[in-house]
């Protein structure tokens, strides 16, 4: 599996005026004018906070989790992991990070499950054997059509 750590968390910029044209020349009410004080993607995702990082999903190894190539993962390095959260981890001795689902082990304890059933789960019995880099808070997917 391949994840790319994004070096800079991109900031939302104000929309250019050409995108603010609502296409209705008869619209003169204040309801037709964007207020600029509503929804903020940066604020919602926590972008800009030092513990929040973005990662890019590079391949299709996470399809079993419903995560697609090109998706961005918003990861909190300070969050405490809980069951049923996705974690960015690196087993001791491994060179790459991977994404795993924290799940209860039927025999007691915790497992880190991979998106593909063919990849064995990692038993989380010794926290020192696996680096937990962060907890995935958001998956940002692009669902629009690419412009030519």
User: How many Cβ atoms are within 10 Å of 136's Cβ, its own excluded?
Assistant: 20
Burial of 28 (0-12, 13-18, 19+ CB in 10 A): exposed
DSSP line for 25-77: TT--SGGGS--SSS--HHHHHTTTSTTEEEEEE-SSTTGGGT--TT-EEEEES
Confidence class for position 142, pLDDT limits 50, 70, 90 = confident
Tens of pLDDT, residues 99-139? 999 999 999 999 999 999 999 999 988 767 899 999 999 99
Cα separation, 60 vs 68, in Å, equals: 6
Strands 52-57 and 3-5: antiparallel
Dump pLDDT digits (tens) for 73-94.
Answer: 999 999 999 999 999 999 888 8
What are the pLDDT digits (tens) for 7-56? 443 434 444 444 444 444 454 544 544 555 677 878 888 888 889 999 99
């Amino acid at each position: 599996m391949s994840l790319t750590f994004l070096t800079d968390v991109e900031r939302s910029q104000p929309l250019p005026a050409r995108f603010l044209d609502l296409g209705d020349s008869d619209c003169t009410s204040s309801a037709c004018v964007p207020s600029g004080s509503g929804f903020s993607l940066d604020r919602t995702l926590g972008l800009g906070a030092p513990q929040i990082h973005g990662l890019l999903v590079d391949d299709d190894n996470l399809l079993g989790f419903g995560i697609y190539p090109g998706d961005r993962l918003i990861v909190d390095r300070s969050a405490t992991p809980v069951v049923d959260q996705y974690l960015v981890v690196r087993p001791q001795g491994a060179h790459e990070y991977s994404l795993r689902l924290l799940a209860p082990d039927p025999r007691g304890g915790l497992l880190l499950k991979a998106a593909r059933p063919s990849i064995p789960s990692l038993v989380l019995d010794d926290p020192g054997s696996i680096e937990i880099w962060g907890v995935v808070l958001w998956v940002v997917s692009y669902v629009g059509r690419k412009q030519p």
